[in-house]
Structures are given as structure tokens and as C-alpha cells.
Amino acid sequence: MTAKEKTEYRKTKQWIAFRFAVLLKRNYSCYMCTIIKKKGLHVHHLDSGTYGKETPKDVVVLCAGCHKLVHRLQSRTKNKININRFCSRLKELLS
């Protein structure tokens, strides 16, 4: 899916309903830093190939700052970042 197609998809009723359901299910909490907030949260696809056919297992909720960090790391590692392992390690370091 191209960037333009992704932008158009995020305007659909299907995506808006899915996003709301994921945010509600995940208690409006960032997966990485666990900040809870009602605005500024992003639903990040773990695999861009799931756009349009995603399930809750295909996405994580991230605040804007963590989302930017994940994309920066993905670009540096050529998309070979394991977000679950990264988040676990980050939480260990922060505690």
C-alpha cells in the first residue's frame, strides 16, 4: 500500500472504528512508556503489510514521542526492530 493509500485508508469508517476499539481495549495507554492519555495516541502497525486487514494483534498504541522513536529506529535498522523486545528492554532500563 502506498503512503497516499494509507492516508486515505485512515479516513475510512473501518479504520476509525478499529482504531477506537484498540485504544479503548488498551486503556488509552502507550505500549512503550505506559503514559495514559486521551489525545495524541497513535495506532502503529507492527507489519505494514497488514494495512486494511489488521487485527488487534497487528498493532500497538504509542504516544507521539514513542511512535517517532520507533520509526527512527526502524529506519536505522532497516525495519528489523522487534518492538516487543525493544519495549521490554526499555521498561527494564526505566525501572
pLDDT for res 23: 95
Taking the domains of the chain in order of start, what are their residue ranges?
3-94
User: 26-57 pLDDT, tens per residue?
Assistant: 999 988 887 788 788 999 988 878 888 999 98
Residue 24 burial class via C-beta count within 10 angstroms: exposed 0-12, middle 13-18, buried 19 and up = exposed
**Predicted confidence band of residue 21 (pLDDT cuts 50, 70, 90):** very high
Nearest to 87 by CA among 56, 64, 66, 71: 66
User: 51-81 pLDDT, tens per residue?
Assistant: 889 999 889 999 998 888 888 877 776 656 6
